[in-house]
Amino acid sequence: MEFSAKTTLPEKQRSDCIVLGIFENQKMSSAAESVDTLCEGYLKNILRTGDMEGKLGQILLLHHVPNVTAERVLLIGCGSERELADKAFRDIIRKMISRILQTGAIEAACYLVELPVKNRDVHWKVRQIVQMTIEAFYRFDQFKSQKEKVRQNLKRMALGIPSKKEIREAERAITEGQAIANGIAFAKDLGNLPPNICTPSYLAKEAEKLAKSFPSLSAAILDEKQIAALKMGALLSVGQGSKNPPRLITLEYRGRKDKQKPIVLVGKGITFDTGGNSLKPPIAMIGMKYDMCGGAAVLATLRAAAELELPLNIIGVIASAENMPGNSATRPEDIITSMSGLTIEILNTDAEGRLVLCDALTYSERFDPEIVIDVATLTSAIILALGSQASGLFSNYPPLAKELFNAGMTSGDRCWEMPLWDEYQESLNSNFADVANVANPPEVGSVLAACFLSRFTKKFKWAHLDIAGVATRSSGKERGATGRPVALLVQYLLDYLPAAS
Ligand code: BES
Ligand code: MN
Ligand code: ZN
């Protein structure tokens, strides 16, 4: 898909399909007004028939509108002009894309950037349109012998920009939107791959492939021997039941020549989570191929940063393993020693995410990080708490939590802060080791998982994103990985830029 930002007036626009907004009570947007003038009231007459009232999401496709050179004019209901906010705008854009894709139009000219979305500027609107349009083309059909035939006529979209002085902003938004959408597609692909293909060493190869295609990226892979040499007993204990051995993947992005301290992104990369010897029941095991989505999001975010050439230093660390049961797998009540030296009593081998993460977090210390953010499909409890609307956000540094929250609101890839109070910590005390990996009896799952991690993050500013509820959609045609929270993380990096320069 190609996007362009133009100040061309809609009545002058040559295109296969011009998209115009109509507000409630048949009020025309200014682009619609000017087309209506050109076609001498043809649109107004149509509104009078009652076929387009301007209700949110309503849609009317017209052909051969008098005096208009474009083949089609697509009218989209935008609801109340005064109440137009993020969600309504996204609903409008989604409607627009799905309707255009049903036509034979190869190029479209969209005049919805002028819609007055509350507190949002041209940059935001353009980026949403670009991101959503590219996402609409996403398919994962590499394992289908009969590919569903989807019409993909649309090749170009021109975005009508209200004024010349906003063109550069709009072009920047197009570039960002494309890089974010490419990152999201990359994360979705990795997430959707079956676990017999996407193993820890497969993830490692993907990191190496990224490093080959972007000179600003470099990858370093540690195998199980090297992981053992680093004394990462927690990561090893999770991987030891599988014939697909663990990998510690480091992908480094150097966007600056100076020695600016890096932002470290840590990802959970469990390529399949059976629960280990604390075996999951069959129903709960479905969806556990996505347990590497945190790691995929980290790789994808670095990919986007490299594509955008952000002037930052960023390091991705992915702890990848397969959590299998069996003879050589960890038992409940085993005690292991983590890289930090803290001993861990493993009371439930299904609480493996925090184990691989704690060693990756300790490992992050060597980069002298400015900030560390980990991303993990960590607990089912976060799904009960927040559903699919927001990632759970935990942090030991309030300004960082605020920045992530704000980045979520801007990107639409939201997160919501949860507490990390000391009073919770007691539940993780063990009679036999420094810490237990779960509370016995189980309680406040997501908070305790974060509390466990917090014991390994005392040396830096840290935030944890529990993405178990947002990383996948579990039903419907859209079943599969969502690519979240790539948009949130890239937004965080973009917002971080002014402070870093
Ligand atoms: N990968 C799971 C969390 C998960 C569950 C992600 C459902 C997505 C959907 C994690 O490793 C896990 O098994 N967590 C347990 C922890 C419990 C044993 C303390 C959970 O949340 O049930
Ligand atoms: Mn588990
Ligand atoms: Zn897991």
Q: Which ligand is nearest the CA of 468, by number?
A: 1
The pLDDT of residue 113 is 98
d(CA 386, CA 458) in angstroms, rounded, equals: 27
Distance, CA 353 to ligand 1 centroid (Å)? 8
- 209 Cα: distance to centroid of ligand 1 (angstroms): 30
> What is the DSSP annotation of 167-225?
HHHHHHHHHHHHHHHHHHHHHHHHHHS-TTTS-HHHHHHHHHHHHHH-TTEEEEEE-HH
Residue 38 has, within 13 A of its CA and on its CB side, a CA count of 19
Q: Parallel, antiparallel, or unpaired: how do β-strands 334-337 and 343-346 relate?
A: antiparallel
Q: Indicate the SS3 state at residue 319.
A: strand
d(CA 387, CA 90): 20
Q: What is the dihedral of CA 20, 5, 16, 49, to 10 degrees?
A: 0
CB atoms within 10 A of CB 341: 10
**Residue of 292, 354, 356, 380 to mutate, ligand 1, most atoms within 8 A of C-beta:** 380
Cβ of 348 closer than 6 Å to ligand 1, yes or no, is yes
Give residue for tokens 């986007």: 304
Residue 346 exposure: Cα atoms within 13 Å on the Cβ side: 28
How far is residue 96's CA from residue 385's CA, in Å, rounded to a whole number? 33
Instruction: For residue 411, give the nearest of 180, 186, 188 by alpha carbon.
Output: 180
Please report which ligand is nearest the Cα atom of 378: 1
pLDDT in the model for residue 442: 80
The answer to whether 241 and 324 are in contact (CB under 8 A) is: yes
Per CATH, the number for 2-137 is: 3.40.220.10
Name the closest-CA residue to atom 13, ligand 1: 350
Residue type at 196 in one-letter notation: N
Residue 390 CA, chain-centre distance (Å), reads: 11
CA of residue 354 to ligand 3 center, whole Å? 9
- Residues forming the active site: 280, 354
CB–CB of 289/343 below 8 Å? no
Is 349's C-beta closer than 6 angstroms to any atom of ligand 1?
A: no
CA of 437, closest atom in ligand 1:
19
Q: With contact defined as beta carbons under 8 Å apart, do 489 and 471 qualify?
A: no
**Res 147: pLDDT:** 86
* pLDDT of 440: 81
Ligand 1 pocket member 468 (CB < 6 A): yes
pTM over 0.95: yes
**Would you say the CB of residue 353 lies under 6 angstroms from ligand 1?**
yes
Question: Could you tell me if 461 and 361 are in contact, meaning their C-beta atoms sit under 8 angstroms apart?
Answer: no
The count of other CB atoms within 10 Å of the CB of residue 60 is 18
Taking the C-alpha atoms of residue 295 and residue 293, their distance in angstroms, rounded to an integer, is: 5
Q: What type of residue is 413?
A: D
Q: Across 210-312, where does the E strand assignment appear? A: 217-222, 247-254, 263-273
Q: Which residue's CA is minimally distant from atom 7 of ligand 1? A: 380
Ligand 1 atom having least distance to the Cα of 288: 1
May I ask the CATH architecture of the domain 180-500? 3-Layer(aba) Sandwich (3.40)
Domains 2-137 and 180-500 share a fold: no
Per-residue pLDDT of the chain (501 residues; tens, 9 = 90+): 999 999 988 888 889 999 999 999 999 999 999 999 999 999 999 999 999 999 999 999 999 999 999 999 999 999 999 999 999 999 999 999 999 999 999 999 999 999 999 999 999 999 999 999 999 999 999 999 998 877 789 999 999 999 999 999 999 999 999 999 999 999 999 999 999 999 999 999 999 999 999 999 999 999 999 999 999 999 999 999 999 999 999 999 999 988 899 999 999 999 999 999 999 999 999 999 999 999 999 999 999 999 999 999 999 999 999 999 999 999 999 999 999 999 999 999 999 999 999 999 999 999 999 999 999 999 999 999 999 999 999 999 999 999 999 999 999 999 999 999 999 999 999 999 999 999 988 888 999 999 999 999 999 999 999 999 999 998 877 889 999 999 999 999 999 998 887
CA–CA dist 236, 223 (Å, integer) = 10
Kindly list the domain boundaries of the chain, sorted by start residue.
2-137, 180-500
CB-count burial class (<10 Å; 0-12, 13-18, 19+) for 10: buried
Report whether residue 381 contacts ligand 1, using a CB cutoff of 6 Å.
Answer: yes
Ligand 2 centre to CA of 452 (Å) is 15
How many CB atoms neighbour CB 122 within 10 A?
21
Tell whether ligand 1 has an atom less than 6 A from the beta carbon of residue 350. yes
Among 324, 379, 435, 467, the mutation site with the greatest number of ligand 1 atoms within 8 A of its Cβ is 379
Ligand nearest to the CA of 444: 1
377 lines ligand 1 (CB under 6 A): yes
Ligand 1 pocket: which of 350, 358, 444, 452 to mutate (most atoms <8 Å of CB)?
Answer: 350
Handedness of CA 92, 94, 97, 102 (dihedral sign): negative
- Coil vs helix vs strand at 397: coil
